[in-house]
């Protein structure tokens, strides 16, 4: 038993060292903040693509966003009113990962849409938009990075395609920022304890 416990302790120590080594291996990136305004009062996609570079200027991650009108499913099945995915890139620009903005939870790893990087209009309206993880501001920490989404300058009107009761989302500005965060140690987006929005936010 004593021998087994020693070996178990050594194994755990090695595992911990491996996690630290992995955390140190994430490349530092060049911080960037950008925004884009979308008119969603009519049918059509909301395309947004950004390459995130490492310190040497090499594209290391690709952020890509669309909505449910986007019909190319080669990388992912985008849905909702706006959805983003973050992919790790290889030296030749090839995609090396699935969506890094999904956590390691089973539900999020088994679905393209069940994660906080997907937005539907009801999550932004009124009190629903105040949800600290699923509302108008959303934060993700992973791979030595801190990523923030803002949904701003919301325009609600009668008529349109994206219903929230008697209100419809007609336009919004998406603002994105990524900075280095050496305390972000997970290889995919961090889990959050905040409950998902109430059913009323989707009606």
- Helix, coil or strand: residue 6: helix
Question: What's the pLDDT at 46?
Answer: 97
What mean pLDDT comes out for the span 45-53? 98
What's the pLDDT tens digit per position in 6-16?
A: 333 333 333 33
Question: What's the pLDDT at 164?
Answer: 60
Question: What's the pLDDT at 163?
Answer: 55
- Pair 133, 117: CB distance under 8 Å: no
State the average pLDDT for the chain. 87
What mean pLDDT comes out for the span 32-48? 96
What's the pLDDT tens digit per position in 106-162?
A: 999 999 999 999 999 999 999 999 999 999 999 999 999 999 999 999 999 875 555
- Residue 146: CB atoms within 10 A of its CB come to 18
Give the alpha-carbon dihedral of 97, 101, 107, 110, to 10 degrees. -30
Higher-pLDDT residue of 9, 167: 167
């Amino acid at each position: 038993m004593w021998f087994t416990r020693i070996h178990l302790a050594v194994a755990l120590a090695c595992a911990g060292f491996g996690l630290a080594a992995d955390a140190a291996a994430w490349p530092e990136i060049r911080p960037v903040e950008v925004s884009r305004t979308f008119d969603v009062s009519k049918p059509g996609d909301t395309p947004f693509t950004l390459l995130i570079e490492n310190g040497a200027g090499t594209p290391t991650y690709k952020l890509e966003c669309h909505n449910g009108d986007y019909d190319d499913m080669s990388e992912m099945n985008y849905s909702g009113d706006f959805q983003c995915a973050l992919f790790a890139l290889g030296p030749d620009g090839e995609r090396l990962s699935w969506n890094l903005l999904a956590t390691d939870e089973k539900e999020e790893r088994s679905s393209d849409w069940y994660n906080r990087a997907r937005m539907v209009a009801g999550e932004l309206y009124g009190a629903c938009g105040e949800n600290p993880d699923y509302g108008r501001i959303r934060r993700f920490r992973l791979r030595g990075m801190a990523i923030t989404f803002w949904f701003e300058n919301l325009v609600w009107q009668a008529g349109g395609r994206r219903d929230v009761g008697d209100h419809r989302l007609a336009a919004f500005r998406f603002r994105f920022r990524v900075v280095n965060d050496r305390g972000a140690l997970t290889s995919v987006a961090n889990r959050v304890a905040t409950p998902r929005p109430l059913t009323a936010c989707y009606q």
